[in-house]
Amino acid sequence: MSTISIHRTEILRITHARSRIFRQRYRRTIPLWKLTINSRSSDTSKKEELSVQISIPPPVDQLRTVGLRFDRLQPPEPEFGHEDRFEFGKFVAREAMLDEEYWTAAWLRAESHWEDRSNERYVDNYKRKFAEQEFNAIKRRCKGMQGQKCSCIVAVKKEEKHIKRSVIKSVVGTLDLSIRYFLQGETFPGEKVKSQLFCSKNQEGSNRYGYIANLCVAKSARRQGIACNMLRFAVESARLSGVEQVYVHVHKNNSVAQELYQKTGFKIVETGKFESLDDDTYLLQYTS
């Protein structure tokens, strides 16, 4: 006999004679013939009807990208009302405002993360998963956590007459800028300090610093000064927030990134006798 398995569904058993409703939640296997309602009898007062509802969840991708319009056209820049923006060449650097811009920034980071492993199996699935997680992380960070201010900065193509672009095709670069507080005893980010079990943040104005992370540029838009100009805009934005020190970490083996940061005005911090939490990276500070 064929059966159907029902998990965590609500089964309503209605007895009209007693006018009472009994509700039970349980896992049960019901033969198919029991799901058929007998309609031959005219005495409905003695009949018991079994109603079963099975809800099918939407696809995972639909849940995570709900509300996103991937064909959305890039609105004109005046509609954003941005006073803090930096124009250079054919591009504009500013803070991201649209969910589609957050998503494109997340996808650029996924592309950059998997750039050297494009031949791996299932790489497209990995990139999409990475982008979904990063998209949600960007949204959380930009809402503000524990008094920290974070913004996702993007570089977008300038408007051109008679040319309409989608948001996805307009965003060509991205980075994160966060305003943080030094922990008690820290003189630079990531320093190993001897502190009590429950250390606190010194939230005085002079103990704040800017931190840049997740810098990447689309392959098709590289070698056009986008990364340098986004960094300059991020540093200026931090200073407008009252922060004088701006830091970034770079991997010791990434000579291209080190050259980029040093060209923009960053210098390696001489930690001296102090120890850093990560021995695989250099800490750079903006000094110009």
Return the active site residues: 261
Distances (CA, A) of 170 to 40, 70, 77, 135: 65, 12, 12, 17
Identify the sign of the CA torsion 9, 13, 19, 20: negative
Determine the distance from the C-alpha atom of residue 62 to the mean position of all C-alpha atoms in its chain, rounded to a whole number.
Answer: 16
Helix (H) or strand (E) holding 8, with range, is: strand 3-15
Work out the burial of residue 162: count CB atoms within 10 Å of its CB; fewer than 13 is exposed, 13-18 middle, 19 or more buried: exposed
Regarding beta strands 149-157 and 91-95, do their DSSP bridges make them parallel or antiparallel, or are they unpaired? antiparallel
CA distance 208 to 149: 11
64 near 132, Cβ under 8 Å?
Answer: yes
